[in-house]
């Protein structure tokens, strides 16, 4: 038990270093790379006294290490500066917009796993048959298609042509603001308020962006599952299982799949992290009020504080997800005990 805690601790120990590195990179991007960091933050048209105030605040006349220290201490207090665009503190903005992205990503990964994993197993079991080829083509397409095209086509087909799904946005204008924001997750908040109509509306609006993201990650998950399964099927223990007279289904699921399940969890965690990236583009197309859209809008507005704040938060989430994946792997795989 102690040994296990120690390895978990060792894994966790590398996190702070990487975290510092993340912060350093955002600092470099924000303060060192731009020609004039102040303009990057407040824009070209800010009055000179605002510019001077910002300059003092950032400590731009001080040496670089002091600037970094100022930056870090501000971050530690949760101060990521103020967004020019929304004129709110960036931290507040992120707290407001992040849950929408998390909701989107979570629903997407659930769909992707439920469909992708069995597809991958099927492709492996039926290797070299037409089903396998079809699934491989499906995965290849998902890997090669740009998400924004898929999002646009989805709007075209499912919204405009077939009328199956509502348009962009998280809710219909009619339902906006009807239920109090408790968690920031629309599905949960509407349920908590007992508002079935809002819930249905939220679900309907979630369907397309989550579907697009789901297809994207489902392709990857299916491909990884197939690869893992094909690998594991070569094992001698598969012959043993068959020699015991077990049914094909039991051999495939209990023995082969059981062996790759842990690796698959790592893949899922990493895919979830990748969804944060995909969300940036998807949210833009569907006008989904999440962190991704916040990032792209602040990019267009050259709002440096917001850009860096969002980047840092996404980077940290990515890091934490990787950590969770690693820890889960060590905890679940009997061989690493």
Partner 1 sequence: MLVQIENLSISFQTAHGLSHAVRNVSLTLGAEKLGIVGESGSGKSLTARSILKLLPDSAILTADTLTFDGIDILRADASAMRAIRGRRAGLVMQDPKFSLNPVMSAGQQIAEAWRAHRKNAGRREAMSAAIDLLAQVQIRDPVRVAAAYPHELSGGMGQRVMIAMMLAPDPELLIADEPTSALDATVQAEILRLMEDLVARRGMALMLISHDLPLVSHFCDRVAVMYAGRIVEEVAASALRGATHPYTRGLLDCIPMLQHPQPRLQTLARDPSWLA
Partner 2 sequence: MSDAAAGGPPPARTISWRDWLLTETPHSRAQAAWGRRFRLWLDFRSNPLAMAGLILALLLVAATLAAPLLTTQNPDAQDLANRLSPPSWQHWFGTDELGRDVYARVLYGGRITLGMVIAIVLLVAPVGLVIGCAAGYLGGLFDRVLMRVTDIFLAFPRLILALAFVAAIKPGITSAILAIALTAWPPYARLARAETLTFRKADFVAATKMTGASGGRIVLRHIVPLCLSSLVVRVTLDMSSIILTAAALGFLGMGAQPPSPEWGAMIATARRFILDHWWVPTVPGIAIFVASLAFNLLGDGLRDVLDPKQR
Nearest approach, Cβ of residue 171 and partner 2 (Å): 21
Which candidate, 9, 1, 83, 19, places its Cα nearest to that of 313?
Answer: 19
Cβ proximity to partner 2, 34 vs 166, nearer residue: 34
Contact footprint for partner 2 (CB under 8 A): 14, 17-18, 21-22, 24-26, 29-30, 33-34, 40, 140-141, 143-149, 152-153, 155-156, 159-160, 227, 230, 273-274, 276-277, 280-281, 284-285, 295-296, 299-300, 302, 304, 307-308, 311, 314-315, 318-319, 322
Which candidate, 33, 24, 37, places its Cα nearest to that of 75?
Answer: 24
Alpha-carbon span 221 to 94, nearest angstrom: 29
Eight-state DSSP code of residue 175: G
The yes or no reply on residue 83 touching partner 1 (CB under 8 A) is no
Instruction: Tell me the DSSP string of 207-261.
Output: HHHHHHHHHHHHHHHHHHHHHHHHHHTTSHHHHHHHHTT--HHHIIIIIIIHHHH
Residues near 232 by beta carbon (within 8 Å), at least 6 away in sequence: 238, 256, 257, 259, 260
Cβ proximity to partner 1, 181 vs 240, nearer residue: 240
Stretch that binds partner 1, among 28-36, 141-149, 216-224, 232-240 (CB under 8 A): 232-240
What residues from 260 to 279 belong to the interface with partner 1 (CB under 8 A)? Answer: 261-262
Of 240, 253, 287, 300, the one binding partner 1 (CB under 8 A) is 240
Cβ proximity to partner 2, 83 vs 311, nearer residue: 311
Cβ contacts of 196-200, under 8 Å, gap ≥ 24:
198/171
Binding partner of residue 29 among partner 1, partner 2, none, CB under 5 to 8 Å per kind? partner 2
Residue given tokens 């009997």 in the structure block: 334
Cβ proximity to partner 2, 2 vs 130, nearer residue: 130
Question: Cα torsion for 14, 15, 18, 20, to the nearest 10°?
Answer: -120
Binding partner of residue 16 among partner 1, partner 2, none, CB under 5 to 8 Å per kind? none
Phi first, then psi: give them for residue 193, nearest 5 degrees: -85, -5
Alpha-carbon span 169 to 287, nearest angstrom: 5
Q: How many CB atoms lie within 10 A of CB 114?
A: 13
Of 62, 237, 287, 300, the one binding partner 1 (CB under 8 A) is 237
Q: How many CB atoms lie within 10 A of CB 264?
A: 19
Q: Taken in order 220, 293, 211, 154, is the CA torsion positive or negative? A: negative
Stretch that binds partner 1, among 50-58, 137-145, 165-173, 254-262 (CB under 8 A): 254-262
Cβ proximity to partner 1, 6 vs 244, nearer residue: 244
Of 244, 253, 287, 300, the one binding partner 1 (CB under 8 A) is 244
Of 242, 297, 302, 330, the one binding partner 1 (CB under 8 A) is 242
Nearest approach, Cβ of residue 92 and partner 2 (Å): 20
Residue given tokens 């990487």 in the structure block: 18
Residue given tokens 């530690």 in the structure block: 76
Binding partner of residue 315 among partner 1, partner 2, none, CB under 5 to 8 Å per kind? partner 2
Tell me if residue 34 falls in helix, strand or coil.
coil
The yes or no reply on residue 239 touching partner 1 (CB under 8 A) is yes
Interface positions with partner 1 (CB under 8 A): 235-237, 239-248, 254-255, 258-259, 261-262, 333-335, 337
């Amino acid at each position: 038990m102690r040994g296990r805690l120690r390895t978990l601790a060792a894994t966790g120990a590398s996190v702070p270093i990487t975290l510092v590195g993340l912060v350093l990179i955002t600092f470099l991007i924000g303060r060192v790379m731009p020609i004039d960091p102040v303009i990057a933050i407040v824009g070209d048209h800010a009055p000179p006294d605002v510019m001077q105030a910002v300059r003092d605040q950032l400590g731009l006349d001080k040496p670089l290490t002091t600037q970094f220290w100022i930056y870090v201490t501000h971050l530690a207090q949760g101060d990521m500066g103020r967004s020019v665009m929304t004129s709110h503190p960036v931290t507040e903005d992120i707290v407001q917009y992040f849950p929408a992205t998390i909701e989107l990503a979570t629903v997407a990964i659930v769909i992707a796993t439920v469909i992708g994993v069995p597809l991958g197993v099927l492709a492996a079991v039926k290797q070299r048959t037409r089903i396998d080829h079809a699934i491989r083509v499906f995965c290849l397409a998902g890997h090669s298609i740009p998400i924004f095209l898929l999002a646009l086509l989805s709007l075209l087909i499912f919204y405009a042509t077939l009328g199956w799904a509502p348009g962009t946005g998280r809710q219909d204008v009619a339902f906006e603001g009807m239920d109090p924001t408790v968690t920031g997750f629309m599905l949960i908040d509407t349920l908590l308020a007992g508002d079935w109509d809002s819930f249905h509306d939220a679900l309907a609006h979630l369907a397309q962006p989550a579907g697009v993201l789901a297809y994207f990650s489902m392709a990857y998950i299916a491909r990884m599952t197939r690869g893992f399964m094909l690998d594991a099927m070569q094992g001698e223990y598969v012959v043993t299982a068959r020699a015991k007279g077990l049914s094909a289904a039991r051999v495939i699921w209990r023995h082969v799949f059981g062996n790759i399940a842990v690796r698959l969890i790592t893949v899922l965690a990493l895919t979830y992290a990748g969804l944060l990236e995909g969300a940036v583009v998807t949210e833009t197309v569907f006008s989904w009020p999440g962190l991704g859209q916040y990032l792209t809008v602040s990019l267009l507005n050259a709002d440096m504080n917001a850009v860096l704040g969002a980047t840092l938060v996404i980077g940290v989430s990515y890091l934490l997800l990787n950590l969770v994946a690693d820890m889960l792997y060590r905890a679940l795989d009997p061989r690493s005990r």
